[in-house]
Every structure is written in structure tokens, then in C-alpha cells.
Structure 1
Amino acid sequence: MAPINNSVATHTHLLPNSSKLYYLSLSYNIHLHTDNLHYWLSRLPSLTSLDLSGIHLPSETNWVQSLASLPLESLYLDDCNLTTSILSFQPANFTSLSSLDLSLNDFAFGLPKWLFNLSKDHVGFDLRLSQCNLRGQIPDLSGYRNLRQLDLSNNKLKGSIPEWLGQLDRLELLDLSNNLFHSSIPSNLLNASALLDYLDISFNHLSGPLPNILGQNESAASIRAGQTDLKIFMSSNKFKGRLPRVSNLVEALDLSHNYFSGPLDTLLCHNYLLYLDLSNNYLTQKLPDCWNKLGNLSDLYLGNNQLTGRVPPMMGSSLPLLNALDLRNNRFFGDIPSTFNNCMSLVLLNLEGNNFSGAAKFRWALSFRVLMHGVTPEILIFVGLLFKSTAQYQIIQRKLKKMRMMVF
């Protein structure tokens, strides 16, 4: 049987010579061949958005030159088997480009030079270079004061986080997670852009002091008019010392897997968080009794610390929107407050590895047992008080946490 030719160029009737077509997505058609890509790109002179994600593109460079001649505003070439040599061409004229995704390619020998000469006149420019095998110092993109989103996650970048990142006053998203950065974070990084709403520097080797008030920005306070929408993820680093206070602008905070110590009062009693993960630190003393200030809290992870004392009854009565509560592997004792019956939204409760006593009287315990017989393993609920920790539980917990982050 002769092989089927799935070339776009072969089926030219599918891509007529059109001066009106402005959006084209062929992404993740894994059997689609892109022979003579230069030819069919030349037939679409008005194209402003092109998505070829997940398609292995040819190593010849003539098609890349064709891209530069289009009035593209959005270009998605992630996971296209690209290398530095394929994209190294001159000149480039992406004067209209405002969004570029080159993630999941191999730029171990450096980024193409034209990337540093794109138009700097746009109100906002999004650049995604996640998992591109980038090495060494972070590329100098300081000329792009209009950067709106910058994703350099999952690379092999090292050294210090540069100061110029804190000077990008239009930045809304910055993801430097899963790299090899060390030293402290620039003092202006969190306070630079009044528009910043997502910062992820997790899974690095960062250390040193954090700002006294995390997420504080006076200009942002006036622009956002009381809205709490800043998400900060700093897990799996080497931060230590007391927990910082948190600005009212912060709605999600992950400081897990660090070396923080001391009480929770400073952080918990001065914010309006929706999501908080302080697990796997060295936190001590009792839980504070200021839960009435956290009525919107939906996810709280305090597991694997050295917290002690009784769980305050106010915790259950003040958190009606609580979806996930993890207090495992601490030193809590006494009765489990019956006020947790008010937390009817709970889908994850883990109290294992403590010294609780007495009877656990949960009105919704029957519902948990029923759910465990009626849902798929992906959303199966394990109650830590009743079940021992298993590998399956750990997987489920990570899935739930990821789902929570995705809604922000």
C-alpha cells in the first residue's frame, strides 16, 4: 500500500491564494508534512496569526525568510524541532510581531540574533522560551521595555537574576522556574511593574532575604483599586528566616520546600489570600487565631512543618470556601474541632502524622465514602485522618494543587 502524502503543499486547494486569510492554525497534526513551506506561506500575504506548534518543520531556511515577510502579530512555533541554525537568518522584519512562542525547541547554541532586534514600539510583547535548552546567563532583553509576558522556565540558565528585569514596567507575567539561578532576588523584582500578576521563580537555588512586605507596590495599589490578583510562586529554593508580611495585592502564594522558620502570625494575619502553600518548611509554634480575616481562603497547605498546639475552632467556622486543607506531619494534638463541619466545600483533608485524640465527628464523612466508590481515580478523595499516605495519594494531591493554580 502506497504511503499517504499529507503534505500541505501537495493539497494546495486547501490553502487557496487568499489575501483575506489572517488566522491559520495547523498545530499538533503530527502526521502533517510541511514540504515546500515557503511556497504556501507566500500565498497568504495578509496572515497575522500563525500556529504551527507541534509540527516538525524542515531544516531549510527559505521558509523562515517567508515568515519575516508576513505582517504577523502572533507566531507560535513551539515544539517544532527548531535549532539555532535553522532560525539564524538576516535580515528579519517582524515589525508587527507582539507574541512569539519558541518553547520546546533546542537553542543550546544561543538564540537567533534577530530575536534581539524585534520592534520595540508595541504596547505589549509576549515572549515564551520555555524548555529551549538555554544555558549560561539569562539573555539580555533589557531593551524590550514593552515586555508583557516573559517565560524562560525549564532551561539551564544560571547566575543571578538580573536587575533589568525589575525595570520592565509593563511586565504582567514572569516565569523563571526550573532553572539554576542562585543568589538573592533583585530588590525591585516584585515592585517594578504595577501590572505584574504572575511571578514564578520556583525550583532554583535562590536564597537571601525577601522583602519585608512581599508583593508591595504603591503604584499598583492605586491602579488595581483594591483588587487582589498577584500570584507568587517561590517553592523549592533556599529561602530562610521568618516569613514576610504579604501585601493585600497577593491572592496566591507558594513558599513551600524552603527553610522558613518561626510562627505564622506575621504572614497569615495581614492579607486576603485565596491560595497559600507553606508546606515543607521549619515553621513552629501554634496556629494563630485570626482566621476570620481569611474568609476567602480556598487552599491551605501547612504539612511537614513543626507546628504544635490545638487547631483553633475558629479555623473551621471562618473558612466556608475551603477546598483543601493539609496539616499532616506536624505536632498538633487534642480534638479535631467540630466546626470543620462548616467546610462543606472540602475535597482534600489531610491530618495524618499528628497527635489528635478523641472522636472525629464529621457529618460529611459518609459523603466521602460514597464519592470514593463513585468517581474516577483522578479525583478520588483520600482523607488523611482515615487513610495512610500512599504514592497514589501524593499524585492526587499534586494534581489537585495544579488544578487550583490553573484557575487563577
Structure 2
Amino acid sequence: MAGDKLNVVIIGGSLAGLMHGVMLKQLSHNVHILEQYQTSIQESQAAGMSTGAHGQELLKRHDKIRDRPHFVTASKLEVVDANLNVIESRPVPFKLTNWKTFYYRLRANFDEFKSDYVPSPPPSLPEEGRAIYDVGKRVTNVSYEKDAGLTVTYQDVETGNDEVLHPDLVIAADGAGSATRKLLFSDVKIPYAGFLTWRGVVPEQAVSKETLNFLFDRCIRYHADRYYIVVYLIPGDDGSIKPGERHVNLVWYDTCQMDSPEYLSMMTDIDGIRHQRTVPFGKVRPEVWAQKQAYGNENFPAPIRELVIKINVPFVTGIYDCISPRASHFDGKLFLVGDAFALFRPHAAQSTNQCALHCLLLSKFISGEITLEAYEEKVASFANTTLHWSRAIGSEYMDNLVGHLYHEFRFRLARGAQNWGFRL
């Protein structure tokens, strides 16, 4: 594969797909992204996120945008109790952004897509490959024969017509509910973790001075009985990081048993549709969120209470985790990447970091720097350790002592297993 100019199909045009698309295009390969969402304009994704060390390395290598900073920084993580006493403080150099800011930055690098986030995208270089971002295209099958190669079948969402592509390489970046993963591993179990996350943002200008002072230069983790809340500043509208124009991001991790009346109520939207994973922005029933706000008003300390009350449009997600048996398939011509390969609980904030790691490693594989076996070992080791690490973090706040000790023990074993060559 090293030295060949490849025609690549990427299934899924979210962050994992775009990271790989930008990298491959800049390495002179032709990239065709198939995205089932019917528009390039992403209106509802405002969730805060951290890119992680691998994400920073990826941007250092492949981000050509130099005039628009896109991170809000914080220097430490502090855990506070119900009285806001700091019970743990760790120096952590956070670089915090949000989904839309990162998405439009990657789009600008990939296919020169103009947006309010990046009004003047950097031009493509002559040596770069062709980039196509094809919306409204749902992949229905991927097959491979040694003589005929790869076949990707997809449907036009609007017309229902089927089309076929025959690429040299397929990147399956179709996320947590990956249809490609189901196609390859129909028996992989994706267990519910026993909790939901409520997410929302509040414009900085709508937040009191006292709460902003409370958040200054830190990421806050507030915990009580079987739930905890994380709060930090992120870019605001159009990716602005100017003080006064930013947003405050809140994530509320709340235990909830699957198929309980509470769970069924929360996961049913304003149209009466029950969702398996996420009830998106604008679809949460007002009476459901009002109940959560009422709980927060009665039980949360002032800064957290203020933010929960001021979140007008939340979204809620049921949390699952899993690891696929393998990342590569079809003699190294198809790769599951990001959440499609390994889905983590969000406590460790490693989803984007994993996507970037996969991208950096794939770059080394296709250029001949590492073998396919080395790629597999590295992505599996990271996934196995991170899966147990994230479970251990969450169990400290959301489980009993026995449960936490169990997950902490599993994490320590997984970390040791990185050098032992097996997966727990």
C-alpha cells in the first residue's frame, strides 16, 4: 500500500471520518465521504469536548488554519463536594472546544467548506488528493473478494436509488451505532452502562459573575449520591473564545435503570418516538427536563443550580460501551475507527483522542512505517485500557465501594496487560 495513490471511501462524515479524510487527502489520496445526514450544516451539535494529546498532535500535523484559535484553556481539574469544598485538585492542561467548532474546522481543511466558524478556508495544495463530502448517502453493504476487491453499496436517502463504489480502502467511521460493525460482527454485545448523560450549554453572558469566578481556569467535577456533574467553559457561537462570548458546558451523569418508567420517559421525545441512544437537541420533552431542573433547584449548590436552571435546550444520551474483536478486515482494506471500533463511557473523555490515534496510526500503516499487526496491537491496547479506565472513573462516583474497587482492579490489570500482550 505504501507509495500507491489510493481511492478511499469513508463511511460517516462526523469527526472520526473527517480526521481520516483530512489526513488521507493531505497524503495525496482521493477521499469520498458518504454521510447519511442530508446537509452539511450541523445545527444542533453544541456539546463540549476535549481533543486529547493525540488530537493535538493530529491538528499540529494537519490543521492548516492559523488565524482562528478554537480552544478554551483550563489549568486544573477540581472535584468539589455538596458544600463546594475542593476534595481533589489535579493540574491538567485542558484544551476545550465543542463539536461544531471542531467539525467546521475539519471541514474547512477537508473540502474548503465555508462557515461562520471558518469563513476563509485554506486552499487545497496541488499535491493533495480529491475530496468529496457526499451528504444524504446511507451505506447498506460492504463486501470484498480477493480478485474483484472492495464493493461499497449505498443508497441515496432522498431518491432511494442504490449506487456502487469500488475503492482501494474503506474507513468505517459510522459511530457508536455503527452499521459496519454490525455487518462484520453481528454477535458483538453493546451493554447499557446503567446511566444517562444530560448535556446543555449556557451563554457566558447569561451566567452570574459569582458562577464564572467559580469556574475560572478550571474544570469542575461536582458529585453527590450516585451521580456527578462536570462543568467547564467552551467556545461560543461561531467558535468565539473571547470572554463574554463563550459558553458554559454542563454534563450531568445520572444513574437510571434501562426500561424503568423514568428511563422510558426520558428517552421518549416530543413526537412520541422512543430513542435508543440519544434524544437530540430540540426533541427532549419540556416536562421531562422541567422535572430534572426542579431536582437540581432543590439539591444542587448555587453555581450548579444556576446552570441547570438556565439550560433551555438539553439533550440526553444513554451510555453504552464495547470493543470490536478486530479493527482491520478484508486483508487490511477496511478499518473500523473511532466509536465504530471501540465505544467508551465518557468519563475519561477519550473518544476524540481515540479517533485521532487511529488516524495517526493509519497514516503510518499506509506509508509502510508499521505493519498491520502493529496497528492492531496499538489500537486494541489503547481501547482495552481506556474502556476499563473510564469504567473505574465513573464507578468512583456512581457505584458502591465494592463496585468501584472491582473496576479499579480491572483497570490496573488492563494497564498491566499493555505489556503482556493480551486483552481482558
TM-score range, shorter chain: under 0.3
Higher radius of gyration, 1 or 2:
1
Q: Which structure features the higher share of strand residues? A: 2
> Normalised by the size of structure 2, how large is the TM-score?
0.19
Which is bigger in relative contact order (C-alpha 8 A, separation at least 6)? 2
